[in-house]
Amino acid sequence: MENNPAKAGAKNKVMKIIGYILLLLVIGVIAALQIWKFSGSNTWELEIEKNGVKIYTIKTPGQDLKKVKGTVTVKATLNQIVDFLQDQDVCDDFSCLQAEIIERINSQFYYNSFRYPAPLFFKDREFVTQSHFVQDPKTLELFYYHTAAPGVIPPDDCCVRLSRFYVLWRFKPVGDGKVEIQFMRDFDFGGFVPNFLLNPNMGASAYSLLNRLQGLLDRERYKDARYDFVVEPGTKSNVKQIAVNATTD
């Protein structure tokens, strides 16, 4: 069969047009991502207010992901809250994988790791963190710092390990057995995951966590929790000890 120069030429022309269109799309996506990265009001904005939970997000110029903070009030003891936060089995409630304490320095400070499955064809994300509790001896407010410590254990090819991860919990007793909780999260998902896949869910995921807290804290396993560094409102024991902790940590 003889080649038809006219058909071959038309086919090449179509392929060139498709190539140009794809190139323009790639350039457009890259430009849009860069515009988004350097955009932002750098102001906290209320995104969700429901069931006693308030969620705020902020877009900071130069960062891809929004930061998130939220507030909720629960009825629980500070000891229950500490026990919940140290319970690695809670990972199962939030679809994360292989949570474990790597090394415990003391009852207030430890290193742990956990993984989250990533969407689509992206690698799972691995969090290697240090967790630290500090209580203010005057107000009895309890602070929980949960931050990245990527070099504590060797890297694993299974996952992308996060190098920037910062979570702060603040627990303020407000009377009648209630605690006001403030939560703030800032992290980089690592690798290349388009921000448009993550940002729309940042506020919703934080809301889901805070909205479930009361039910999780009510579990029987936390009822009798006691930690030597925690002072509950109305008690005076260990005040000297937490004063030392607050000044040395």
Q: CA-to-CA distance for 71 and 232, rounded, in angstroms?
A: 21
Residue with tokens 């071959």: 8
Whether the pLDDT of residue 133 is over 70: the answer is: yes
Task: Return the pLDDT at 239.
Answer: 47
Contact between residue 64 and residue 58 where contact means Cβ atoms under 8 Å apart: no
In the chain, pLDDT over 70 holds for what percent of residues?
A: 84
State pLDDT tens for residues 149-194. Answer: 999 999 999 899 999 999 999 999 999 999 999 999 998 888 777 6
Alpha carbon separation from 218 to 27, 76, 214 (Å, rounded): 52, 8, 6
In the chain, pLDDT over 90 holds for what percent of residues?
A: 61
Q: CA-to-CA distance for 179 and 170, rounded, in angstroms?
A: 10
Which residues, listed in sequence order, are joined to residue 145 by a DSSP beta bridge?
132, 168
Measure the CA dihedral 83/218/142/57, to 10°: 110
94 DSSP 8-state letter: G
Give the burial string for 64-86 (b: 16+ CB within 10 Å, else e): bbbbbbbbbebebbbbbbbbbeb
Q: Which helix (H) or strand (E) holds 110?
A: strand 109-116
Q: CA-to-CA distance for 217 and 84, rounded, in angstroms?
A: 7
Backbone angles phi, psi at 247, to 5 degrees: -90, -20
* Residue positions counted in the chain: 249
Burial classification of residue 151, based on how many CB atoms lie within 10 Å of its CB (0-12 exposed, 13-18 middle, 19 or more buried): exposed
Task: Return the pLDDT at 101.
Answer: 96
Which residues, including other chains, have CB under 8 Å from residue 72's CB and lie 6 or more apart? 52, 53, 54, 180, 181, 210, 211, 213
Per-residue confidence band for 3, with pLDDT thresholds at 50, 70 and 90 = low
State pLDDT tens for residues 88-116. Answer: 999 999 889 889 999 999 999 999 999 99
Task: Return the pLDDT at 237.
Answer: 53
